[in-house]
Amino acid sequence: MITRKDIHKDFTDKIKVIDGGICAVSKVKVAGVRDGKYGVSIIVCKNSDVAGVFTSNKVIAAPVEYTKNTIEDGKLSAIIANSGNANCFTGDQGVFDCEATVEIISKIFEIPKTEIATASTGVIGRKMPMDIITRLINQASEVLENSNNASINAAKAIMTTDTVYKHASIEVTLGNNQKVKIGGICKGTGMIAPNMGTMLCFIATDAIADQKILKESLKKAVDDSFNMVIVDGDESTNDTVLFFANGESKNSILVNNKINGSDIDRNFQEGLNVLCKDLAKQMAQDGEGATKFIEVEVRGAKSKSDAQIASKSVVKSPLVKSAVFGGDPNWGRIVAAVGYSGAYMDPDDITIAISSNDNLVDLVLDGEILAFEGTANLENAELIMKEKSIKIIIDLKNGKYNAIAYGCDLTYDYVKINAEYTT
Amino acid sequence: MITRKDIHKDFTDKIKVIDGGICAVSKVKVAGVRDGKYGVSIIVCKNSDVAGVFTSNKVIAAPVEYTKNTIEDGKLSAIIANSGNANCFTGDQGVFDCEATVEIISKIFEIPKTEIATASTGVIGRKMPMDIITRLINQASEVLENSNNASINAAKAIMTTDTVYKHASIEVTLGNNQKVKIGGICKGTGMIAPNMGTMLCFIATDAIADQKILKESLKKAVDDSFNMVIVDGDESTNDTVLFFANGESKNSILVNNKINGSDIDRNFQEGLNVLCKDLAKQMAQDGEGATKFIEVEVRGAKSKSDAQIASKSVVKSPLVKSAVFGGDPNWGRIVAAVGYSGAYMDPDDITIAISSNDNLVDLVLDGEILAFEGTANLENAELIMKEKSIKIIIDLKNGKYNAIAYGCDLTYDYVKINAEYTT
């Protein structure tokens, strides 16, 4: 039988949700302004250490190349991001436009160009409308603030097909009882539309950490969050996640509270994981055309990688996604998607439940179907499938590894949005 | 610039399309009967050599397990296939039902049970309705024929969500100028629905060949055809392809006309490739909810595998599929799908064209966009996108390897079919 469990429960007293978004971290000043489909966000974070993760697509937008280079020395003082144009597939002109944008920020804020990162999202294959971008940068630069509202404005200014802005912030009590804050903004509807669905995410902390540690911590968090979000499996040319630390709290994340051989404080790592999962869920919930949020938890896998590929396979399956849209507790499609995922599994052991809110029902137990016609299990399962947020729990009973993937249903509106959008 | 080329042109005088389907091969007698959603096909092919390829899903239906065992010794005299019930996830009862079905065929046709293969497609997780299946077997066994009509009936009887029956047949002139025939039937809408979309395919030849050679030849053909069809990327628990040779032509496929170190006559291999591609295209065209057929040819890849993953990535991309449904020549989504496929590519070299019938237009040339607003290229591209059959040609300009993948658009009806289908 499947039972509920909260994998974060060990940390509930260590991680507190707070207000502020990216501005929960003091001294981080941000602004965001829009003009129709174009928007500009500025984040000023002087003398921060920084690490980033970027798209693995072989087609890479100019700002991604630029930012990879500029953060190589680990220092960051500002980020300039725009929506409406991805500055991708734009040749040499794209590189010039990137440099021009950075130049403007450098002049306004008197920051060395080598400490400025840039990111773009929007249509690809068209030149940057530099007149509009320049005007928006000048406007934004006059309203920088460290406030919850400023974080929301910055989150709004980078939206494209997003229907809601996305930001989050927490306070973490480290192993030595000192407190640090982490906050971030992001946009994206799930690594989805090469044209209009890039994922951008900027996360700040007031902890002390150098690039190496930030990178290690970010990579762990991203693997369990953004890399587990699948709306349609397409991957953008512009995906960018930047994580920076300004040290304002005077607390290092390297304290005496080790986990798995890492020097990173385990409460800090869990806090960053929770924050990134929160943002990842916000993206999945805002998936193009989505009417339902789907969480797929795979337990008992032989390896972490098996747990990840099995859960992603289910959340990605167009047949499972269509079934969720139709409110059908179709365990057969779930079993088949696990079966072709490549993860080790024995059909005689597989156990599947679905849940929503406080309701949980077993569909398959040790390879035996419990939810067939006329059973209370099927009736209950059909009730659960009517909810807006559905969790599918799969126990492979082969090992000790777990993973959770996030996604949404496949709807008429997904097809409509993506069929009608014109190059 | 992309130019048209017919990769089969060297073989046009060696491969002739003929009538007959699987019955183009003499002495192969078949029948198919239906009763509502259930159907039974019988193929009698005494004293044939046989090879097969099967689903790689870890959840495997009882008849797949059964047939893998029974054909191990390379001998086949009959195939019994049913639609309506996949006999999958049915435990020990599923195995008993498989054996019972084979027993009936063994008695009627006086064939050893060890020479009988079985295949099922339909709903999973429900017991086989043995009374109906038995009745249909008895009916079918009385109308066996070697005729074009019988081939069509057998193809019809295994249909599930298929909207048209699928069969094909050719005559091949071998390197020694002798002639052999190859014919087959299949069902499936593209390795698609674990519940109702299994791919089954049975191919006959009157050539002489043992299991080892049949397997080598079949594997090559399947890699370029059925394995290149993607409707939604889901893979069934029941996929089965059987290829058998009854030697009636007295001509061996091992003649003095080697290709790539293989002993198989190259005309025979090309013939089997063409036949399987024909059946594969019929499946892609009949994809669930499809309004348009998509062919994606990748040229100039560094390796065969690169060409395959790049072409499959494009044909699988929900964004590309939605764009085709919407008639949008969205080269950006094509570039991005190649970019994340994992294939080696340089964005500065990529060249993309689309074509339909005799119309061909370049969208991107050596990384430069040709089809932007106001150009004749874009206007022409939009005309092409209105056609029912669209070919996307991508030249990576990195090497000499090519591959073609087959698929269809993503439509409201795909979502409707799969949202409303109930477990």
pLDDT at A298 over 90: yes
pLDDT score, position A1: 65
Provide CB contacts within 8 A for A123, sequence distance 6+: A84, A85, A86, A195, A196, B332
Task: Name the average pLDDT for chain B.
Answer: 90
Which among B275, B267, B270 has a CA at the least distance from the CA of B243?
B275
Collapsing DSSP to helix, strand or coil, B255 comes out as coil
User: Beta strand pairing status for A240-245 and A166-173?
Assistant: unpaired
Report the residue from A194, A235, A329 with minimal CB separation from B332. Answer: A194
User: Best of A340, A398, A411 to disrupt the B interface by mutation (most B CBs within 10 Å)?
Assistant: A340
Highest mean pLDDT among A53-67, A140-154, A319-333: A140-154
B125 vs A contacts (CB less than 8 Å): 331-332, 369, 372
pLDDT score, position A260: 61
Please give, rounded to a whole number of angstroms, the shortest distance from the CA of B406 to a CA of chain A: 18
- Cβ <8 Å between B335 and A59: yes
- Residue B41 near residue B31, CB atoms below 8 Å: yes
Span B283-320, pLDDT tens digits: 888 887 889 999 999 999 999 999 999 999 999 888 89
Q: Tell me the average pLDDT across A202-208.
A: 98
Q: Which helix (H) or strand (E) is A148 found in, with range? A: helix A148-157
Phi/psi at A41 (nearest 5 deg)? Answer: -120, 135
Q: Binding site annotation covers A240?
A: no
User: Beta strand pairing status for B351-356 and B389-395?
Assistant: antiparallel
What's the rounded Cα separation, in Å, for the pair B415 and B288? Answer: 9
By percentage, how much of chain A surpasses pLDDT 90? 70
Where in the sequence numbering do the catalytic residues of A fall?
A: 198
Q: For residue A345, what are the CA distances in angstroms to A365, B82, B131, B322?
A: 14, 27, 33, 33
Write the single-letter amino acid at B285: Q
Question: DSSP letter at A189?
Answer: S
Q: Tell me the average pLDDT across A164-190.
A: 93
pLDDT band, very low/low/confident/very high, at A257 (cuts 50, 70, 90): low
What's the rounded Cα separation, in Å, for the pair A262 and A252? Answer: 14
- Cβ <8 Å between A418 and B367: no
- Residue A80 near residue A137, CB atoms below 8 Å: yes
Please give, rounded to a whole number of angstroms, the shortest distance from the CA of B314 to a CA of chain A: 10
pLDDT band, very low/low/confident/very high, at A10 (cuts 50, 70, 90): low
- Give the CATH H-level superfamily of domain A4-285: L-amino peptidase D-ALA esterase/amidase (3.60.70.12)
Span B58-73, pLDDT tens digits: 888 999 999 999 999 9
Beta-bridge mates of residue A80: A42, A118
pLDDT score, position B357: 86
pLDDT at B243 over 80: yes
B416 vs A contacts (CB less than 8 Å): 412
Q: Tell me the average pLDDT across B232-257.
A: 85
User: Best of A415, A416, A417, A420 to disrupt the B interface by mutation (most B CBs within 10 Å)?
Assistant: A415
- Cβ <8 Å between A319 and B193: yes
Instruction: Give the pair of three-digit tokens for residue A109.
Output: 């804020």
Span B326-364, pLDDT tens digits: 999 989 889 989 988 889 999 999 999 999 988 999 999
Q: Binding site annotation covers A198?
A: yes
- Cβ <8 Å between A57 and B340: yes
Please give, rounded to a whole number of angstroms, the shortest distance from the CA of B58 to a CA of chain A: 5
Please give, rounded to a whole number of angstroms, the shortest distance from the CA of A236 to a CA of chain B: 7
- Cβ <8 Å between B234 and A318: yes
Q: Which residue has the higher pLDDT, A178 or B56?
A: A178
pLDDT at A129 over 90: yes
pLDDT score, position B234: 64
Span A219-246, pLDDT tens digits: 999 988 988 887 665 667 888 999 999 9
By percentage, how much of chain B surpasses pLDDT 70? 92
pLDDT score, position B267: 93
pLDDT at B194 over 50: no
Q: Tell me the average pLDDT across A246-261.
A: 80
- Cβ <8 Å between B337 and A367: no
Task: Name the average pLDDT for chain A.
Answer: 90
pLDDT score, position B77: 98
What's the rounded Cα separation, in Å, for the pair B28 and B46? Answer: 8
pLDDT at A194 over 90: no
Span A270-282, pLDDT tens digits: 999 999 999 999 9
pLDDT score, position B70: 95
pLDDT score, position B21: 97
pLDDT at A5 over 80: no
B420 vs A contacts (CB less than 8 Å): 326
Segments making up each domain of chain A, as ranges: 4-285, 293-420
Q: Tell me the average pLDDT across A327-354.
A: 91
Q: Tell me the average pLDDT across B233-258.
A: 84
What's the rounded Cα separation, in Å, for the pair A235 and B67? Answer: 40
Span A52-96, pLDDT tens digits: 999 888 888 999 999 999 999 999 999 999 999 999 989 899 999
Candidate CATH numbers 3.40.50.10310, 3.40.50.1820, 3.10.20.340, 3.10.20.90; the one for domain A293-420: 3.10.20.340
pLDDT at A417 over 80: no
pLDDT at B240 over 80: yes
Question: A4-13, A298-307, B30-39, B80-89: which has the minimum mean pLDDT?
Answer: A4-13
Question: DSSP letter at B170?
Answer: E
What's the rounded Cα separation, in Å, for the pair B170 and A380? Answer: 53
pLDDT band, very low/low/confident/very high, at A262 (cuts 50, 70, 90): confident
Question: How many CA within 13 A on the CB side of residue B87?
Answer: 27
- Residue A422 near residue B319, CB atoms below 8 Å: no
- Cβ <8 Å between A367 and B125: no
Q: Tell me the average pLDDT across B386-401.
A: 95
pLDDT band, very low/low/confident/very high, at A338 (cuts 50, 70, 90): very high
Question: A230-239, B37-46, B101-110, B131-140: which has the minimum mean pLDDT?
Answer: A230-239
Span B87-97, pLDDT tens digits: 998 989 999 99
Q: Tell me the average pLDDT across A275-302.
A: 92
What's the rounded Cα separation, in Å, for the pair B360 and B377? Answer: 10
Q: Tell me the average pLDDT across A145-170.
A: 96
B91 vs A contacts (CB less than 8 Å): 367-368
